Amino acid sequence: MTRAESTRVLVIEDLVAGYGDTMILDGISLAVDPGEIVVVLGATGSGKSTLLRCIVGLVEAWQGRVLIGGRDINAASGVGREEILRGVGLAFQEAALLNSMTTAENVALPIMEHWEVDEPTALMLARMRLARVGLAGAGDKMPAELSGGMRKRAGIARAIALEPRLLLLDEPTAGLDPTTARAIDELVLGLKARGDMGIVAVTHELGSINTIADRAVMLATGTVIASGTLAEVRADPDPRVQAFFRRELLPQAARKNLVDDLEWRA
Ligand SMILES: Nc1ncnc2c1ncn2[C@@H]1O[C@H](COP(=O)(O)OP(=O)(O)OP(=O)(O)O)[C@@H](O)[C@H]1O
Ligand SMILES: [Mg+2]
């Protein structure tokens, strides 16, 4: 392992993965440093969520390496694997809170599972995480009583429950009104400001991309078709990249066709 690999929060090398016999990711490489937000872009179905699932071992890699803090998740098993995964938080695309328990209990769940603390302590820590995402006071609500934006925040609170070095966010602002979306972008920037956490955010919201991205990676047909700083990716001549960013210049009516076109290409 090179020195650079061990200091990075995430290194993915030539990752190949899929479901059943269907390959979805065909040789993906990317790296994330502490204090950095890498945005993953790509049309619907291009494999963004699958990539995040591979990082946390929910989808097995067929080939390639996923190093978290320099440690290979696929080479580890049992306690070693659990220890690596404790350092990663994933906020799912659908917040995926358990409806039978309160919001605070949802956030306390990973804390009780992985840290040796009693329930009152876990709930206290959970309320601290909820406060950090602007949900102080919502801990006793059931998930069904939360708005869409609040559910997204609660999902992020659960993802940061164990103070991970690597935070994965799947569409944190999709489907939210612009004000709520901006508030979540600010929250993500606040988490980054701690400096020791690396963040991978999947998003197709141009507002979010412009606000939070230090670097961007664009996926299509299972491969990385562009990567670099946001300015570099924006300047990439690949027509799929250009179509993605041109949306912001087009009137609303023309956008849908372009998005359909992008989906068709994927
Ligand atoms: N559990 C699964 N079993 C089989 N195929 C799946 C599964 N989950 C996703 N797929 C397929 O993998 C491909 C990539 O899906 P994925 O959810 O990773 O895309 P995405 O880029 O996150 O899309 P979106 O922007 O719509 O969230 C799609 O063709 C999808 O149908
Ligand atoms: Mg997805």
Domains of the chain: 3-87+168-265 (3.40.50.300), 98-163 (no CATH)
- Residue 110 CA to ligand 2 center (angstroms) comes to 23
Query: How many residues in the chain?
Result: 266
More reliable by pLDDT, 124 or 179: 124
Question: How many other CB atoms are found less than 10 A from the CB of residue 24?
Answer: 22
- Residue 51 CA to ligand 1 center (angstroms) comes to 10
> Could you identify the atom of ligand 1 that is nearest to the CA of residue 50?
18
Q: What is the mean pLDDT of residues 74-82?
A: 90
* Nearest C-alpha neighbor of 108 from the set 95, 89, 122: 122
**By the 8 A CB rule, do 167 and 200 touch?**
yes
Ligand nearest to the CA of 53: 1
Q: What is the mean pLDDT of residues 206-211?
A: 92
**Residues 6+ away with beta carbon under 8 Å from 148:** 175, 176, 180
Ligand 1 mutation target, pool 16, 26, 49, 53, most atoms within 8 A of CB: 49
**Residue with CA at minimum distance from ligand 1 atom 8:** 50
Compute the distance between CA of residue 264 and CA of residue 266 in angstroms, rounded to an integer: 5
Compute the distance between CA of residue 175 and CA of residue 147 in angstroms, rounded to an integer: 11
21, with CB counted inside 10 A (0-12, 13-18, 19+), is exposed
- In the chain, the amino acid numbered 161 is A
Q: What is the mean pLDDT of residues 124-128?
A: 96
Q: Is the CB of 203 under 6 A from ligand 1?
A: no
Q: Is the CB of 50 under 6 A from ligand 1?
A: yes
**Residue with CA at minimum distance from ligand 1 atom 10:** 19
Q: What is the mean pLDDT of residues 232-245?
A: 93
- In the chain, the amino acid numbered 224 is V
User: How much is the pLDDT for 149?
Assistant: 87
Q: What is the mean pLDDT of residues 209-224?
A: 95
User: How much is the pLDDT for 260?
Assistant: 54
User: How much is the pLDDT for 14?
Assistant: 97
Q: With bands split at pLDDT 50, 70 and 90, how would you rate the model's confidence at 253?
A: very low
- Residue 182 CA to ligand 2 center (angstroms) comes to 20
- Residue 66 CA to ligand 2 center (angstroms) comes to 19
- Convert the pLDDT of each residue in 34-58 to its tens digit: 999 999 999 889 999 999 999 999 9
Q: Is the CB of 222 under 6 A from ligand 1?
A: no
User: How much is the pLDDT for 1?
Assistant: 54
